[in-house]
Chain A
Amino acid sequence: MREKTPILGLRGICKRFGPVRANHEVDLTLYEGDILGLLGENGAGKTTLMNILFGTYAADAGRIEIDGEPVSIANSADAIAHGIGMVHQHFHLVARHSVLENLMVGQKGRHGTLDRAGAEARLARIADEYGLRLAPETPVAALTIGEQQRLEIIKALFRGARILILDEPTAVLTPQERDGLFKAMRALADKGMGVIFISHKLFEVREITNRVMIMRQGVVTTTLVNGPELTDRELGELMCGRELIPPERPPVAVGRVLLRLTKISAGGTPDRPVLKEVSLEVRAGEILGLAGVSGNGQGALAEVIAGVLPPHGGAIEIDGEVLDQPSVQAVKARGIGRVPEDRIGTGLITTLPLSDNMVLPRVGEAPFSRCGILDHRAMRDFAREQIARFQITAAGVDVRTGTLSGGNLQKALLARELAWDPLVLLVAQPTRGIDVGAAEFVHRQFLDLRARGRGLLVISEDLEELFTLCDRIAVIYEGRIMGTIPVAEATARNVGLLMAGFREDAA
Chain B
Amino acid sequence: MRVRLEVREKASPWLNLTLPLLAIAATLVLCGGLIALAGANVIEAYSVLFASALESKFAIVETIVKATPLVLTGLAVAVAFRAKFWNIGAEGQFLLGAMAAVFIGTQESLPGWSLVPLMILAGIIAGGLWAVLPAVLKTRFKVDDVVTTLLLNFIVFYAMMALLDGPWKDPLSGYPDSPDIRPDAEFPVLLHATRLHLGVLLAAVATVLVWWLMRFTTLGFAIRAVGENPRAAAYAGFDVGRIIVLTALISGGLAGLAGVGEAAGLHYQVMAGISSGYGYTGIVIAMLGRLNPLGVVPSALFFAVVITGAEAMSRSTGVPVFLADVIQGTALMTMLMALLFTGYRVRLSLTGHG
Contact = CB atoms under 8 A, between A and B. Distances in A.
Contact of B354 (A59, A308, A399): A59
Contacts of B172: none
B221 interface: yes
Interface of B: 2, 4, 6, 9-11, 215-222, 224-225, 228-229, 231-237, 347, 349, 351-354
Given A74-B351, A346-B231, A350-B229, A374 B237 contact: no
A374 B225 contact: no
A27 B71 CA distance: 57
Interface string A307-328: 0100000000000000000011
A328 B235 contact: yes
Nearest to A302: B235
Nearest to A332: B237
Given A72-B352, A403-B10, A58 B347 contact: yes
Interface residues of A, number: 43
A72 B354 contact: yes
A346 B232 contact: yes
B229 A349 contact: yes
Interface of A: 13, 17-18, 20, 52, 57-59, 62-64, 72-74, 306, 308, 327-329, 332, 338, 340, 345-352, 356, 360-361, 363-364, 369, 372-374, 376, 399-400, 403
B354 A52 contact: yes
Given A58-B354, A403-B9, A329 B237 contact: yes
A351 B229 contact: yes
Nearest to B2: A74
A340 B6 CA distance: 29
A374 B235 contact: no
B218 A374 contact: yes
23 contacts: A20-B9, A52-B354, A57-B6, A58-B6, A59-B354, A62-B354, A74-B4, A328-B236, A328-B237, A345-B231, A346-B235, A347-B232, A347-B235, A349-B233, A350-B229, A352-B224, A356-B221, A360-B232, A361-B235, A361-B237, A372-B218, A400-B10, A400-B11
Nearest to A55: B354
B353 A72 contact: yes
B310 to A, nearest CB: 37
A25 to B, nearest CB: 14
Contacts of B349: 58, 74
A57 to B, nearest CB: 6
B351 A360 contact: no
B335 to A, nearest CB: 19
Query: Which 4 residue pairs across A and B have the least CB separation, nearest first?
Result: A328-B237, A361-B236, A349-B229, A59-B354
B228 A328 contact: no
Nearest to A379: B221
A81 B222 CA distance: 48
Nearest to A327: B237
A349 B228 contact: yes
A349 B233 CA distance: 8
B217 to A, nearest CB: 5
A360 B10 contact: no
Contacts of A361: 235-237
A373 B354 contact: no
A331 to B, nearest CB: 9
Nearest to A62: B354
Contacts of B222: 363
